[in-house]
Amino acid sequence: MATSEKTAAVAELTELFRTSTAAVLTEYRGLTVAELKQLRRALGENAHYAVVKNTLSEIAAKEAGIDAFAGKMSGPSAIAFVSGDPVDAAKAMRDFAKDHEALIVKGGYMDGQYLDDAAVKKLADLESREVLLAKLAGAMKGNLYKAAYMFQAPLSQAVRTVDALRAKVEEQGGAAAPAAENTEAAAEAAAE
């Protein structure tokens, strides 16, 4: 490979590292070209799976400010550059690896930190972003209903107390009626 081609390859890889939300380093030894195409399809549009040269990739990662892959690239390597949700890409790789044991996840990079292969597997076990957001919204909605009930409880309790006082005054006779009206006015003022 000529020097200008290497420079262009490093520049392209550097740009991929900079624009990706995550990157997953894999070893693809033993996979056929058809299986690699199948993996690329499984990753979808939010990930770019590229077979890379180890030395050029390490240089590109350093230029992008990522030192997570230093010394970890050996053997036939490929990197999945994820531009969307990293959970979806990790799930796609996990599912593909179940059927194709030749795909080995070596590690990854996300949010400035190196992820070992166990961390990438844990990432794959997470639910998708949309599901997590829906669960959060449901929890927040439930808390809002509880708060609304708590704010309405003292008001309804005050109304029941006033009704009980009015009933008691009516039982005792009409002599204490002005006092009950004063109590009712005080309860309404407190509620406001």
Mean pLDDT of 114-139: 80
Q: Write out the CATH class of domain 3-126.
A: alpha beta
Is the CB of residue 116 less than 8 Å from the CB of residue 58? no
**Kind of pairing, strands 104-110 and 113-116?**
antiparallel
Least confident of 65-69, 71-75, 123-127, 132-136: 123-127
Give me the pLDDT at residue 89, please. 85
For residue 186, what pLDDT is reported? 55
* Average of per-residue pLDDT across 74-94: 86
What average pLDDT does the structure give for the chain? Answer: 81
By CB atoms closer than 10 A (0-12, 13-18, 19+), residue 69 is buried
More confident residue, 87 or 182: 87
Residues 165-192 have a mean pLDDT of: 65
Phi, psi dihedrals of residue 58, rounded to the nearest 5°? -65, -40
Decide if pLDDT at 166 tops 80.
yes
Contact 109, 115 (CB under 8 A): yes
Residues 6+ apart with CB under 8 A from 47: 80, 81, 82, 83, 84, 89, 92
Helix (H) or strand (E) holding 55: helix 54-63
pLDDT in tens, 18-32: 888 888 888 888 888
Spell out the domain ranges in the chain: 3-126, 132-191
